[in-house]
Structure 1
Amino acid sequence: MSSEVGSSSAEDRRVVVLVVPSAGTWAPPGRSSDAWRLALAEDTYEVLAALDRVDVAVAVAGGDDAAVAEVGALTWPGTPVYAVDAARPVLDAVALAGPAAAVVAVSHDVPDLPGLLIGKLFRALSSADVAVTPAEDGTFAAIGVNIPTAEWVVAAGPTFDTLLSELESLKPRRHAVAVGPGWHRLRSAADIARLDPGLEGWDATRSILRHS
Structure 2
Amino acid sequence: MWRLALAEDTYEVLAALDRVEVAVAVAGGDEAAVAEVAGLTWPGTPVYAVDAGRPVLEAVEKVGPAAAVVAVSYDVPDLPGLLVGKLFRALGAADIAVTPAEDGSLAAIGVRLPLAPWLTDLAPTFDTTLAELDDQKPRRHAVALGPGWHRLRATADIARLDPGLEGWDATRAQLRGT
- Decide: shared fold, TM above 0.5: yes
Gap runs ≥5 in structure 2: none
Is 1:139 matched with 2:105? Answer: yes
Matched, 1:152 2:138: no
**3-state DSSP class of the match of 2:77?**
coil
Deviation at 1:143, TM superposition (A): 0.4
* Aligned equivalent of 1:73: 39
**Alignment identity in percent?**
79
Distance 2:55 2:62 in 1: 10
How does 1:49-198 map onto structure 2 within 5 Å? 49-198=15-164
Structure 1, unpaired ranges of 5+: 1-34
Deviation for aligned residue 1:198: 1.9
Moved over 3 A (4+): none
Please state which structure has a larger fraction of its residues in helix. 2
The SS at the match of 2:6 is helix
Distance 1:169 1:134 in 2: 16
Q: Once superposed, what is the RMSD of the aligned Cα atoms?
A: 0.8
Normalised by the size of structure 2, how large is the TM-score? Answer: 0.98
